[in-house]
Structure 1
Amino acid sequence: MIKAVVFDLDDTLYQQEVPFTKAIKKVFPQFIKEDLTDLFKLFRTISDHLYEQTKQKDAETVRALNYQRLSKAMEEIFRIQLTESLVDSFEAEYTQQLQQICLTDSLKSVLQDMAENYELGIITNGYTKRQNLKLNALEINKIIPFENILISENVGIEKPDRRLFDQMAQILKNEPKELLYIGDSYKNDVLGAKQAGWQTWWFNHQQRKIPKGGAEIYDKEIQHFDELAKELTLLFNLKKEC
C-alpha cells in the first residue's frame, strides 16, 4: 500500500509553459498571437541538456546558460537571433511570471486532503534560489513540510541518481515499495524512482515518447493536468476505504 506520495516540481505541480508563454509575449510582442508550445518544448529540452552539462553554478555560468537556451530555441523555431539584452529582459520577466504561479484549485484541494492521510514530499532538480521562488509562489509550505523537500543543488545530487530517492525514503521513514513518485521526465523521474524501488506515475502531459531503449516501467501514465487531480483523488479515496 502507498503510504507517501512525492512530486516533481516543474511541469508537475504547475504548468511551466504558462509563465514561459506570458514572458515571451511580454518581451516579444510580435509573437502575441503565436502558438508557442513548440518553442517551449525546445526551450525545456535545451535547458535540461545544458543544466546536465555543467556542475558549475556561479552567476556568470547561469547567465550564459540562460542565453544559450533561449537563443538556440528562438533561432531554430523562428529563425531569429537574440541579443544578450533581450535574453536578460526575458529572464527578468520570466522570473516575475514564476512568482505568479499557483496550484490549480483541484490539485490544491486534493493535496490538502491527502496531507491528512499521506506523507507528502518534493524532489526537484534545479538551483535552490530559483526553486524556492516557485515553492513560495505555490505556497506549498502550507501543505508539505519543509523537511520533506529536496532540491538537488542543496543536496549535491541530481535526479535520476537513486540516492536522492533513498534519502527521501529515509526522511519519510517508509519502505521504497510504499512510496509513489510523480513527475514529467521519463529519465529523471520514472527511471530514477524505479531504480530506487518506488512506484511511479509518469505525468506525460507533453506526450513525449519513451526514449530509445526504454520500456513501460511506470505504474501509470497520466496525460492531462485535470487527470492528475482525478487520479490523486481516487488514490486518496481508496486509502480512506481501507
Structure 2
Amino acid sequence: MNKKAVFFDVDDTLYDHLSPLRSALMEVLGLPKDFPYERAYYLFRYYSDLLSDEEGLSAVPDQAKMERMRKRRFMLSLAELGVNVTEEQAGRLQSAYLKGQFEIRPFEGAVPLIRWLSEAGYVVGLITNGPMEHQMSKILAMEIEKVVPESHIFISGAVGVAKPDPGLFTHVNASTGTRAEDCHYIGDSWRNDVVGSLGAGWTSIWFNHRGAKPESDHQPHHVVSNYEEIGKLYGMNELGK
C-alpha cells in the first residue's frame, strides 16, 4: 500500500514569523504600534528570499554572506517604508530578531493536527529552507521534534538544495519511500511552497493566513487560513479531539 504523506513548512506556517520581527523593530527602533508591520514582514520575507537566492544561501550556507544578507534585508525592506537604518542598527535588529525566534510557540492547533495525522497513518514531516542548526533551533524551541521524527525533518542547508527547487521534494520522496502523487505540502510562501510543491507534482495547500495575493498563475489545490480549515481537509472536525 502506498503511503500518504503530509509535510509542513516551518517559518510562518508552524508559528507566527511576524511576532519576533515586530518585537525587534519596536525594541531597537522604537517604532509605534500602528507601524505597518504586516507590510514590513512581507518586504522582509521578499528580500530575505531574493538575497538568499542571489548568494545561494538556502542550499549552501556561508557565514559571512549570511551575516551580510541578514543586515541588508532589514535595510532594504525598511527603506521602502521610509525608515533608513544603518548597518550597525541592522545588526542590532538581527540580534533582537534572532533572540525572539527562539521564544516562539506553535500556532494553535498545529501540534494536535500533527498528532492526529500521525495516528491516522500519514507520514508527517517538515521541509524548510535555511541553515541546519538555525532551523533546528526553532523546531526544538517549539518542541516539534516530540511529534515529528528526525528522519522526517528536511532542511535545505543539510540537503544541499532549497525550495522552490523540485529537487528538494524529490529528495524527500526518495528518503521517505513516498510518491509525489501521495504527498501534500502545507506552506505560507507562494514562491517557495506553492510553486515548489506544484513543480514537484505534490498536492499544494497554501496556508494564506495573512490574506496575501497570488504572485503567478500557479493554482494551489487548496487555500486555507487556519489550522481548523486544514484539519477539515483530512476529516478532523475538531482539533485536539
Tell me if both proteins adopt one fold, taking TM over 0.5 as the criterion. yes
**Secondary structure of 2:96's aligned partner:** helix
- Aligned partner of 2:175 among 171, 177, 181: 171
Matching of residues 1-242 of structure 1 within 5 Å: 3-55=4-56, 57-77=61-81, 79-117=82-120, 118-212=122-216, 214-216=217-219, 218-222=220-224, 224=225, 227-237=226-236
Normalising to structure 2: TM-score of the pair? 0.88
Give me the whole-angstrom Cα distance separating, in 2, the residues matched to 1:128 and 1:195. 24
Give me the whole-angstrom Cα distance separating, in 2, the residues matched to 1:201 and 1:27. 36
Q: CA deviation at 1:207?
A: 2.6
Q: CA deviation at 1:76?
A: 1.5
Give me the whole-angstrom Cα distance separating, in 1, the residues matched to 2:207 and 2:199. 18
Is the 2:25–2:31 Cα contact (8 Å) retained in structure 1?
no
Is the 1:190–1:200 Cα contact (8 Å) retained in structure 2?
yes
RMSD over aligned CA atoms reads 2.0
Is the 2:180–2:200 Cα contact (8 Å) retained in structure 1?
yes
Q: CA deviation at 1:108?
A: 1.6
Q: Summarize deviations over 1:111-165 as a string: whole Å, max 9, x none.
A: 2222212211111111222211211111110011111111111111011211211
**Secondary structure of 2:170's aligned partner:** helix
**Secondary structure of 2:206's aligned partner:** strand
Deviates more, 1:61-70 or 1:169-178: 169-178
Give me the whole-angstrom Cα distance separating, in 1, the residues matched to 2:236 and 2:78. 45
Specify the code of the residue in structure 2 equivalent to 1:38.
R
Q: Which runs of 5+ in 1 are unaligned?
A: none
For residues 168 and 236 of structure 1, do their structure 2 counterparts lie closer, same or farther at Cα, with a shift above 3 Å needed?
Answer: farther
Q: Summarize deviations over 1:26-84 as a string: whole Å, max 9, x none.
A: 1122434434111111111111110111125322211211111101112210x232122
Q: Which runs of 5+ in 2 are unaligned?
A: none
Give me the whole-angstrom Cα distance separating, in 2, the residues matched to 1:31 and 1:173. 50
Give the fraction of aligned pairs with identical amino acids, expressed as a percent: 29
How many residue pairs align between the two structures? Answer: 232
Is the 2:195–2:218 Cα contact (8 Å) retained in structure 1?
no
Specify the code of the residue in structure 2 equivalent to 1:145.
P
Specify the code of the residue in structure 1 equivalent to 2:50.
H
Runs of 4+ in structure 1 over 6 Å off: none
Q: CA deviation at 1:229?
A: 3.3
Specify the code of the residue in structure 2 equivalent to 1:85.
E
Give me the whole-angstrom Cα distance separating, in 1, the residues matched to 2:88 and 2:212. 33
Normalising to structure 1: TM-score of the pair? 0.88
Q: CA deviation at 1:85?
A: 2.1
